[in-house]
Structure 1
């Protein structure tokens, strides 16, 4: 879907069409959340991605500003 290509740090895999879901990973590639999207409309999924902090480009190929490179993950920080 063209719409999902605009979101930075998001990969869309349609191989699970019977039970489509968003799988959110942290910076260590660990699953932190799974969201079933079968009953959601495209606009609802977009709203969810926006609320989770995914950066959305205005057009395909647009550069992502440096401050958004690691979004939606919080910026790495030093351990105390």
Structure 2
């Protein structure tokens, strides 16, 4: 899973409202929750390339900082804005 490792080391910190749980799961996946903390979507990422994971997050409206440590603008602080609320 070198691509997943690459994403975690190089890109994860750029995304706002994205967390990583380092459990011993052999089938890593992205789990999306709605505003009520209910699971609404699961995407397996074991075979995805780092660019594919980034593209998925971008398409769902996750705010991506241009560099680590950059402040997130106030209008982007609440979950992905491009995603319909009933889906994410």
Q: What range is the shorter-chain TM-score in? A: 0.7 to 0.9
Report the number of matched residues: 75
- Normalising by structure 1, we get a TM-score of 0.83
- Normalising by structure 2, we get a TM-score of 0.76
Structure 1 residue aligned with 2:22 = 14
Aligned-pair RMSD on alpha carbons?
1.7
How do 1:49-64 and structure 2 match up within 5 A? 49-64=57-72
Q: Distance in 2 between matches of 1:54 and 1:30?
A: 18
Gap regions ≥5 residues in structure 2 = 1-7
1:25 equivalent in alignment to 2:33: yes
Structure 1 residue aligned with 2:73 = 65
3-state SS, counterpart of residue 23 of structure 2: helix
The structure 1 segments of at least 4 consecutive aligned residues displaced by more than 2 Å after TM superposition are none
Which of these two proteins has the greater Rg computed from alpha carbons? 1
